[in-house]
Structure 1
Amino acid sequence: WLKQYEQSHFSLPSWPSLHNAIKWQTPRCLQSDGESQKWPVDDDSLSAIVERFIDDKLTTYEQQRDFPAIKGTSGLSPYLALGIISVKQLLVNVQQRHPDILQSAKSNLFSWVNELIWREFYRHLIVAYPRLCKHANFNAKYDAVKWR
């Protein structure tokens, strides 16, 4: 995956130029009369959230991501799940700030990229095997295992 990514040399425009190139409209499913300040979807806010994570939290992500009492995750899962931001956008953004991030799969910084890769891989599995999103095991031989 990494080899293909590095060989593709793709790039995406920065947020401001991307924003100006697209006619933005909040999807109807995201419109609400309720409070939504916790999950802003406007371009400037989302850009700031991504930049703040990469600049302030990425270096400690690997150590802090598994502790619910610590805000150690990126907080970008809802945006990725709804397609508001893509893995490619995040990879381009993180590489602009950390050009060597893909050089060592054992580095702390790479840990987050690895999570993005696995997330994307699993999304592809769900497309190929829709039963996975219905709490079914990938391999039926594990159906009898009692999960705690």
Structure 2
Amino acid sequence: MDIIIRPARADELDAAGRITADAFIADGHTQPDGQYAPKLRDARARAVSAEVLVAVDAADDTLLGCVTFAPPGSPWGDIARDGEAEFRMLAVDPSARGRGTGEALVLACVERARALGVRQLVMSTQQSMTGAHRIYERLGFRRTPDRDWSPVPDVHLFTYALPL
């Protein structure tokens, strides 16, 4: 595989945050001046109490995408319950799409959750992220409509879970 998934280095966190915000904004999932954009940009804050994983090109170490993995007890888990891990803010640079980067990042979260011995990996996604939904479903995640939620008015999130 020409993609390597690993923990973000300290010198990559700003770039990881930019990729995350830029991808969400470019795809219309948040506004550049919206309240969520600063959170997306701040990978440094996430790295304090969660794990920021990056996808890099094996040939030249170019940053392709990133995801935030929230182990049990992390304040970055929005919907995780006892015995669950969560991932969020999955983003792939638009120029790196079509290479399997997003799927590789999700699989790294699955592996990390299994290594921690959690019973389930959960996540939230916007209804409009249909391409991501296909990846999740192909990997065995199932919709959990009873856990769907709205972090702010007019933003309704779908939830998925993968029993481990």
What range describes the TM-score normalised by the shorter chain of this pair? 0.3 to 0.5
Q: TM-score, normalised by structure 1?
A: 0.34
Greater percentage in strand: 2
Q: Which has the larger radius of gyration?
A: 1
Q: TM-score, normalised by structure 2?
A: 0.32
Greater percentage in helix: 1
